[in-house]
Amino acid sequence: MAITGGTSKNKTYDTAGLKVPVSLGVIMDGNGRWAKKRLLPRSAGHRAGAENLKELCRNCGNYGVKYLTVYAFSTENWSRPQGEVDQLMKLFVEFFDRYDPELAEEGIRVRFTGDIEHLPENIQKVCREGEERSKDRPKMQLIVAFNYGGRREIVHSVQSIAKDIKEGRLQPEDITEDIISSNMYLPDVPDPELIIRPSGEMRLSNFLLWESAYSEFWVSDTLWPDFGYEDLTQAFRDYAKRDRRFGGLSKKDTEEN
């Protein structure tokens, strides 16, 4: 995907030599280690990470990404100490209260994916209001995976399909990959072409398990709060060199045969 280029805060968004995905996933990892390196509490790392999300949104929007899915809070994160969970919930509310005007200025629509119905009521309220307030913003969609688990999403899809079968709307033999996809949390969001994970960890951590079947992966040793414009640009530069074959032959192999 190419755009004409532009600048924001002295950054150059020129896609020459880059390949910008329409749909991008980012696992925001490394907040705790970032804080530990600076002898700060983990809460300081989470705050720095939340601040950096605003910068990522600006950079992705200016590069031409249309769908940005970020992993903010997993279904497994409830096992963390209660004090840390409470801090994350408060930070979630604060982030959208403080930065929604800036997201609006950037034309960024906000959506949520995950088991939202089982979140505290005040968090559900933030999600509902954020989605409603931003629904007409045209530039980019920010999809926040909150109380999200890839396995739980697949279970959700299977349960929806089972209900359709039980009520006679579908036969088992009618189930296809498209049917499963259409029952995911946000079926209109394209599968991510690229997934970025800062912090150097080499795993998905239950993020977009179904949707990432043919995603490219890019891992950086940079911890999430320090992940910036240069890192994102390098990811797109490396992504441009990838040969996405989707199980088939590469263009080179096809030409040789």
Q: In this structure, what is the dihedral angle of CA atoms 149, 53, 63, 205, given to the nearest 10 degrees?
A: -30
At the fourth CATH level, which superfamily is domain 20-150+190-246? Decaprenyl diphosphate synthase-like (3.40.1180.10)
User: Rounded to an integer, what distance in angstroms lies between the CA atom of residue 218 and that of residue 216?
Assistant: 7
**Residue 194 clears pLDDT 60, i.e. is over it:** yes
Of 13-17, 87-91, 252-256, the range with the highest mean pLDDT is 87-91
**Residue 52 clears pLDDT 70, i.e. is over it:** yes
pLDDT of 4 reads 34
**What would the two tokens of residue 203 be?**
């795993």
Active site residues: 29, 77
The DSSP code for 77 is G
- 53-94 tens-digit pLDDT: 999 999 999 999 999 999 999 999 999 999 999 999 999 999
